[in-house]
Amino acid sequence: MRKQIAAANWKMNLTLQQAEQLTNDLLSTNHKMGVEQLAILAVPFPYLTSIQARLKNNANMFVAAQNCAATKNGAYTGETSTEMLESIGVQYVLIGHSERREYYNETNSILTEKVNRAFENNIHPVFCCGESLNIREAGTQNSYVETQLKESLFHLNKDQMNGFIIAYEPIWAIGTGRTASSDQAQQMHEHIRNVIAIQFGDEIAASISILYGGSVKAANAADIFSKPDVDGGLVGGASLIAADFATIINSLK
């Protein structure tokens, strides 16, 4: 069975003290996870080791970096390499988040290199993809997302893709006042799984976890996660409230 995952993206929020308190609050909530369920907290770089230490006795909870460098090392001031992340025990990293693509001009080719660096240092990528409002209105979202996958992931082998994590972000439904339905989420997740199946085979496609990243909240998580090709969520604002994120964890299949 593929992993069911509740991933939190704290983005550029919280002081260290607030981050530690949020983690403590989350750990004290009434959340339960089975063997095939995970919670991943993508926290700001300065807090990785502190939050990781607080999670050390929780077998199903991990920290993730929110980004990594496309290069191995060298004169790249302000960058953080996957070698550095591995050295402090980080096992997951977000790659290609919509904000990184939009604000920092991260192209599919750059993300290819980031995926490669993650695998070189034994870190699991959480690869983000998704379309903007103009793409959705043009009705070309399927081909657009397919291109994102092809140009950044299709060079990988089956072993690397086995159990891979993809997060689908309908950018048009985040902070726009528009709402993506659980059926729309299922349609794109099914399409993503089919694209992977054509390239890597049905067995690999069945193994990948596809998370939904479109304004998942405590109130809608159970409905969204009930869809057959939705394997959890990449959660923004709701992950900053311990009780809400605990509810989202408990909504996993």
Question: Looking at the annotation, which residues are catalytic?
Answer: 97, 169
Q: For residue 203, give the amino acid letter.
A: E
Instruction: For residue 107, give the nearest of 95, 125, 116 by alpha carbon.
Output: 95
Rounded-to-integer distance, Cα 17 and Cα 57, Å: 20
Q: What one-character-per-residue DSSP string does 161-196 give?
A: HTT-EEEE--GGGSSSS----HHHHHHHHHHHHHHH
CA distance 176 to 193: 27
Among candidate residues 196, 195, 231, 236, the one with its CA nearest the CA of residue 213: 236
Q: Which two tokens stand for residue 121?
A: 């240092």
| Cα distances (angstroms) measured from residue 50 to each of 24, 80, 117, 240 | 12, 17, 24, 17
